[in-house]
Amino acid sequence: MKLVTLFLMFASTSASYTIKQIPMMIVPEFTCYDILKSKVKMDYLPIGVTYKGKQVFSYYCKNTLTGKFIQ
């Protein structure tokens, strides 16, 4: 098991965005996309990916202990 943080970015205005950090424990075989699918709702365009009703425009994952990105 490893501790990972999923970062979700939401557009708040036309010139800025907010970031939501979601920490979680995962097995080493999981990819960032697997983590994303477990936390968000995926739909077809124009809705796309949403988290708690907000549209996600970008995401990434990091190992919380080492700070390295997870692909």
User: Which DSSP string corresponds to 17-31?
Assistant: EEEEEEEEEE-TT--
Counted domains in the chain: 1
Q: Can you tell me the mean pLDDT for 42-56?
A: 90
At residue 50, φ and ψ (nearest 5 deg) are -130, 150
- pTM, two decimals, is 0.89
- Residue 39's domain spans which residues? 2-70
Pair of tokens at residue 71: 């692909």
At residue 2, φ and ψ (nearest 5 deg) are -140, 155
pLDDT interval class at 63 (50, 70, 90): very high
Q: Can you tell me the mean pLDDT for 12-26?
A: 91
